């Protein structure tokens, strides 16, 4: 698995238009936890190495995505750092259902200081006046169950305020799950030219679904019948 990740496994993300950035129906705003504050408590020990892959867009690189997983008391914390190589990134999110994430139990957030510094000075004034967090954390709990970290809308214009103004401004994101790590694809979106990108990294891998006892009983009964019929044919 680690070898696959190190080879830079990437999957093309579906095109995501700027119009889709606002919260979809059924999405909820998650209370933001500062990554620094989380680390000051504990996220446990590392259970994977650090994996870094290129965020691949159509015909260009949007930067890199680095990830590592920690575990404490059965809770896995997925820590992912986006380092943009383009300007005005507006959205980062899971390109998959956030398996094992329960917004009533688990935390999600980012490094608030990093995120704030990634905005231009003018946008920092807008964010300060908004008296909110630099980024919104959204969980779509209805259908796709994705988690998204997106730029807030300007209260006056309704436009998305872009962040990620260059490679000197990486931002660390995190979320938690009851499941250990596997492989999945994360999406990133560039506001200016609507370029979607994706990169593979650590993500929860749900345990395999085991058959119910009744299913096993039916299967066993079926095999027994087949065995008896075979024995009768052989006896004849």
Which tens digit of pLDDT belongs to each residue from 72-127? 999 999 999 999 888 778 889 998 999 999 999 999 999 999 988 888 777 777 77
**Does residue 10 lie in a domain region?**
yes
pLDDT per residue, tens digit, the chain (236 aa), is: 444 444 433 332 222 222 223 344 568 888 889 998 887 778 999 999 999 999 998 888 888 999 999 999 999 999 999 998 887 788 899 989 999 999 999 999 999 999 888 887 777 777 777 666 888 899 987 768 899 998 876 555 556 666 555 667 899 999 999 999 998 999 887 766 667 899 999 999 988 765 555 544 554 554 444 444 454 555 55
Helix or strand (DSSP H, E) at 195: strand 195-204
**Does residue 202 lie in a domain region?**
yes
Backbone angles phi, psi at 218, to 5 degrees: -65, -40
Question: ∠ CA(112), CA(113), CA(114), 5° rounding?
Answer: 90
Q: Which DSSP state fits 160? A: B
**Does residue 82 lie in a domain region?**
yes
Would you tell me how many other CB atoms lie within 10 Å of the CB of residue 197? 27
**Does residue 229 lie in a domain region?**
no
**Does residue 231 lie in a domain region?**
no
Would you tell me how many other CB atoms lie within 10 Å of the CB of residue 151? 27
Q: Which DSSP state fits 220? A: H
**Does residue 148 lie in a domain region?**
yes
**Does residue 219 lie in a domain region?**
no
* Domain around 82: 2-210
**Does residue 227 lie in a domain region?**
no
What total number of domains does the chain contain?
1
Distance CA 147, CA 61 (A): 23
């Amino acid at each position: 698995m680690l070898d696959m990740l190190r080879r830079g496994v990437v999957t093309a993300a579906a095109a995501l238009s700027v119009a889709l950035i606002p919260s979809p129906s059924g999405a909820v705003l998650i209370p933001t936890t500062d990554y620094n504050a989380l680390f000051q408590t504990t996220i446990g020990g590392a259970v994977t190495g650090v994996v870094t892959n290129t965020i691949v867009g159509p015909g260009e690189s949007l930067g890199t995505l680095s990830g590592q997983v920690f575990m404490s008391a059965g809770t896995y914390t997925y820590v992912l750092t986006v380092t943009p190589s383009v300007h005005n990134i507006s959205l980062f999110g899971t390109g998959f259902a956030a398996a094992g994430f329960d917004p009533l139990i688990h935390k999600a957030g980012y490094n608030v200081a990093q995120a704030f510094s990634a905005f231009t000075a003018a946008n920092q004034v807008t964010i300060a006046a908004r008296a909110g967090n630099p980024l919104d954390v959204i969980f779509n709990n209805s259908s796709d169950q994705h988690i998204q970290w997106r730029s807030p809308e300007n209260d006056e214009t309704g436009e998305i305020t872009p962040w990620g103004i260059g490679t000197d401004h990486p931002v660390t994101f995190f979320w938690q799950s009851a499941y250990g790590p596997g492989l999945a694809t994360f999406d990133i979106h560039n506001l200016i030219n609507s370029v979607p990108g994706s990169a593979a990294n650590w993500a929860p891998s749900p345990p395999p679904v085991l058959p119910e006892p009744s299913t096993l009983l039916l299967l066993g009964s079926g095999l027994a019948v087949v065995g008896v019929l075979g024995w009768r044919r052989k006896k004849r």
